[in-house]
Copies of this chain bind each other. A is one copy, B any other.
């Protein structure tokens, strides 16, 4: 019985192994043919140039520990070979790094008494064919992402270059669309189901494979239901509405955008209506939400957001009335950009962003882009007179990136992020619950002191000064500039409006009035300018209706994860103060990252991993206790 495998989770993900010296995995997800009930991988490493090097590996399976360890250094090509037998696994990987000062190594695992099962690809050739088609789609999407990244970070800024890139992207997009709507997919899914039935397979087997089928079926059927004219309308509107929004915003005149925005709402509703198929019991807004926050229902958001609003409005009033607000002086001065870049890089790599599996660059709007778990790139932006926006962006994007770097490597949808809220929970976990803590300020204050001091200007603020300055509350008209305390209300505001428009309780034309009134009543902010009011965000022009609430779902999830992480990780606070983030990052990987899209919803994941679904009281408690102390109220 000879069988070639991908390598186990820990092995294929070298970055993971490097930082995790004892890894327990229950199921080898990458190698579908192998059901290891309990594997302990112990890694002994010799770090050489650029952190690559010889590696010795020992594996114990079940109660029996029986293994081989082996290291060697050799030049040669990348080569993975695996030999498996009923009670013995041997795997060897010869790697060659393609950097100068080449160091290569071989890992061998042998384990006894492993339970081996036949992979579904062997039982069902249709599954093999399906997986191959789906992986091709993933690869082509990744190609497109590389072109996007290049456009935003490197491409010359001329119109001609942009037009040429547009033509390239559009050729690729047509191919991807063609492959993603390939009519043979639904037939293959059916055949695999038949194969599963006739093979008389225990229903608990092939869980991942069943999830692959399910996810494929859902997205394929959704796409299939959209008529071609509606698809064309969506595409055309996506570009013309953006233009209309840019114009209206630059003129600060909502009425210029209103007719197009109506079309956007109508088109998004039409799409959602097709997406839900015949099932009109699903509210339209819930269906829209599903695009971004799989499995989340509008009525649940109503409850969660209601609770948050009820708690925050009085808290913010008290904070703003405080007579002891922290000073924001530490934010401002004159700072060298190169030194900021260096300290940002030092901090984010220490936090767990694997720079050997990614890059840090600059762009106008910070973003994260993943081409595979081994190449996840983040961008930030820096200014000479304020240093925290740069660091906050780096940590925020770094949080997104750590999710992508620690997700599985199957190139299938099960190994992609669960939802937008789940993704945002990762960026906000690191940005807020690590990066905005007193302990973090303790760890970074000396680093920041030397990076932010220049010729003749000393940055001599204490950790407490920095903590106060970066957490200072100051209500803003603009969401993206809002502090963490007032931010939720910006989201709730737009959520309420978009839901009311979708459900016919208000007209598009009335948005500015509603917006301005709500900003006044919730945040005591006067809006005199549509550009800084209801026109500030791009989302609606891209038909992303139902997207907004994921920002606050992410905030609430981050707070809940932080609560449990603090309980689970022994020296949570000391770790942060000492700049030791390995246990925290590994906890997130265990609880969130590695599951990809295996759960049906964020709620399902939280319930299974933490014991309760999304619960906004963690966010409320966190904000209440933090700001009560900081503002002495």
Q: A-side interface residues toward B, CB under 8 Å? A: 12-15, 50, 52, 75-78, 95-100, 135-136, 139-140, 142-144, 146-147, 149-150, 154-165, 167-172, 174-175, 239, 243, 246-247, 250, 355-359, 364, 371-375, 411
Q: What is the distance, in angstroms, from A1's C-beta to the closest C-beta of chain B? A: 26
Q: How far is the CA of A12 from the CA of B158 in the complex (A)?
A: 12
Seed contacts A140-B168, A149-B150, A161-B375; 11 additional CB < 8 Å A-B pairs:
A77-B243, A97-B158, A98-B157, A139-B172, A140-B171, A140-B172, A142-B164, A146-B150, A164-B372, A165-B371, A165-B375
| Cross-chain contact B375 with A164 (CB below 8 angstroms) | yes
Of B95, B139, B162, B174, the residue contacting A171 (CB under 8 A) is B139
Residues on the B chain within 8 Å of A144, using CB: 143
Q: Mind listing 12 A-B residue pairs with CB under 8 Å?
A: A95-B159, A100-B364, A135-B167, A140-B171, A142-B164, A143-B171, A156-B357, A156-B375, A165-B371, A165-B372, A165-B375, A168-B372
Residues on the B chain within 8 Å of A168, using CB: 139-140, 142-143, 146, 371-372
Residues on the B chain within 8 Å of A163, using CB: 78, 374
Of B14, B154, B162, B169, the residue contacting A159 (CB under 8 A) is B14
Q: Which 10 pairs, one residue from A and one from B, show the smallest C-beta to C-beta distance? A: A164-B372, A160-B374, A139-B171, A99-B157, A161-B374, A161-B375, A95-B159, A77-B243, A139-B168, A142-B168
Q: How far is the CA of A139 from the CA of B144 in the complex (A)?
A: 12
Q: How far is the CA of A171 from the CA of B146 in the complex (A)?
A: 14
- How many copies of the polypeptide does the oligomer hold? 2
Residues on the B chain within 8 Å of A15, using CB: 158, 160
- In the complex, the chain B residue whose C-beta lies closest to that of A13 is B160
Of B75, B157, B167, B239, the residue contacting A77 (CB under 8 A) is B239
Residues on the B chain within 8 Å of A170, using CB: 139
| Cross-chain contact A167 with B411 (CB below 8 angstroms) | yes
Of B156, B162, B372, the residue contacting A161 (CB under 8 A) is B372
- In the complex, the chain B residue whose C-beta lies closest to that of A104 is B159
Of B14, B147, B160, the residue contacting A357 (CB under 8 A) is B160
Q: How far is the CA of A618 from the CA of B140 in the complex (A)?
A: 49
Q: How far is the CA of A239 from the CA of B77 in the complex (A)?
A: 9
Given A78-B162, A136-B171, A157 contacting B50 (CB threshold 8 A): yes
Q: How far is the CA of A155 from the CA of B140 in the complex (A)?
A: 17
- Max chain B C-beta neighbours (<10 A), residue from A75, A156, A157, A356: A156
- Max chain B C-beta neighbours (<10 A), residue from A52, A139, A157: A139
Residues on the B chain within 8 Å of A147, using CB: 143, 146
| Cross-chain contact A358 with B156 (CB below 8 angstroms) | yes
Given A139-B167, A142-B168, A143-B168, A161 contacting B357 (CB threshold 8 A): yes
Q: What is the distance, in angstroms, from A364's C-beta to the closest C-beta of chain B? A: 7
| Cross-chain contact B359 with A156 (CB below 8 angstroms) | yes
| Cross-chain contact A374 with B158 (CB below 8 angstroms) | yes
- In the complex, the chain B residue whose C-beta lies closest to that of A411 is B167
| Cross-chain contact B246 with A75 (CB below 8 angstroms) | yes
Of B12, B161, B162, B243, the residue contacting A76 (CB under 8 A) is B243
Q: How far is the CA of A374 from the CA of B156 in the complex (A)?
A: 8
Residues on the B chain within 8 Å of A136, using CB: 171, 174
Q: How far is the CA of A150 from the CA of B77 in the complex (A)?
A: 21
Of B98, B158, B364, the residue contacting A52 (CB under 8 A) is B158
Residues on the B chain within 8 Å of A247, using CB: 75-76
Residues on the B chain within 8 Å of A99, using CB: 157
- In the complex, the chain B residue whose C-beta lies closest to that of A140 is B171
Q: How far is the CA of A213 from the CA of B605 in the complex (A)?
A: 58
Residues on the B chain within 8 Å of A164, using CB: 142, 371-372, 374-375
Given A97-B158, A243-B77, A175 contacting B140 (CB threshold 8 A): yes
Of B13, B14, B250, B375, the residue contacting A155 (CB under 8 A) is B375
Q: What is the distance, in angstroms, from A248's C-beta to the closest C-beta of chain B? A: 11
- Max chain B C-beta neighbours (<10 A), residue from A13, A75, A154: A154
Residues on the B chain within 8 Å of A150, using CB: 146, 149-150
Residues on the B chain within 8 Å of A359, using CB: 154, 156
| Cross-chain contact A156 with B96 (CB below 8 angstroms) | no
Q: How far is the CA of A594 from the CA of B285 in the complex (A)?
A: 55
Q: How far is the CA of A163 from the CA of B155 in the complex (A)?
A: 25
| Cross-chain contact B172 with A143 (CB below 8 angstroms) | yes
Residues on the B chain within 8 Å of A156, using CB: 355-359, 374-375
| Cross-chain contact A75 with B142 (CB below 8 angstroms) | no
Residues on the B chain within 8 Å of A355, using CB: 156
- In the complex, the chain B residue whose C-beta lies closest to that of A137 is B171
Residues on the B chain within 8 Å of A358, using CB: 156
Given A143-B171, A375-B165, A160 contacting B75 (CB threshold 8 A): no
Q: What is the distance, in angstroms, from A531's C-beta to the closest C-beta of chain B? A: 13
Given A142-B168, A150-B150, A175-B175, A14 contacting B356 (CB threshold 8 A): no
- In the complex, the chain B residue whose C-beta lies closest to that of A149 is B150
- In the complex, the chain B residue whose C-beta lies closest to that of A139 is B171
Residues on the B chain within 8 Å of A100, using CB: 364
Residues on the B chain within 8 Å of A154, using CB: 154, 359
| Cross-chain contact A157 with B97 (CB below 8 angstroms) | yes
- Max chain B C-beta neighbours (<10 A), residue from A78, A364, A375: A375
Q: How far is the CA of A95 from the CA of B142 in the complex (A)?
A: 30
Q: How far is the CA of A358 from the CA of B364 in the complex (A)?
A: 19
- In the complex, the chain B residue whose C-beta lies closest to that of A375 is B161
Residues on the B chain within 8 Å of A373, using CB: 160
Q: What is the distance, in angstroms, from A337's C-beta to the closest C-beta of chain B? A: 15
| Cross-chain contact B160 with A96 (CB below 8 angstroms) | no
- In the complex, the chain B residue whose C-beta lies closest to that of A79 is B243
Residues on the B chain within 8 Å of A375, using CB: 155-156, 161, 164-165
Q: What is the distance, in angstroms, from A318's C-beta to the closest C-beta of chain B? A: 39
Q: What is the distance, in angstroms, from A209's C-beta to the closest C-beta of chain B? A: 20
Residues on the B chain within 8 Å of A371, using CB: 164-165, 168
